[in-house]
Amino acid sequence: VFNVFCLYGNVEKVKFMKSKPGAAMVEMADGYAVDRAITHLNNNFMFGQKLNVWWGWGLGGLWGV
């Protein structure tokens, strides 16, 4: 996950969700990186699973999920 999101900007943190298997939150350095990641990754497939990528405000900044 880290390596894929790094293609679109600086990744500051990746957090895998224990309560929701197969889900992760990715903290990007800036909003432009988040927009690029959403544009290129949303609704694509990785390891046979469809990616749903959107933005939100987390505790540490912008998150792509």
CATH code of the domain containing 33? 3.30.70.330
pLDDT exceeds cutoff 90 at 61: no
Q: In whole angstroms, give the CA distance from residue 48 to residue 59.
A: 30
In this predicted structure, what is the pLDDT of residue 22? 83
**pTM for this one?**
0.80
More confident residue, 60 or 17: 17
Q: In whole angstroms, give the CA distance from residue 46 to residue 31.
A: 23
End-to-end alpha-carbon separation of the chain, Å? 11
Please tell me the total count of domains within the chain. 1
Range of the domain at 19: 1-64
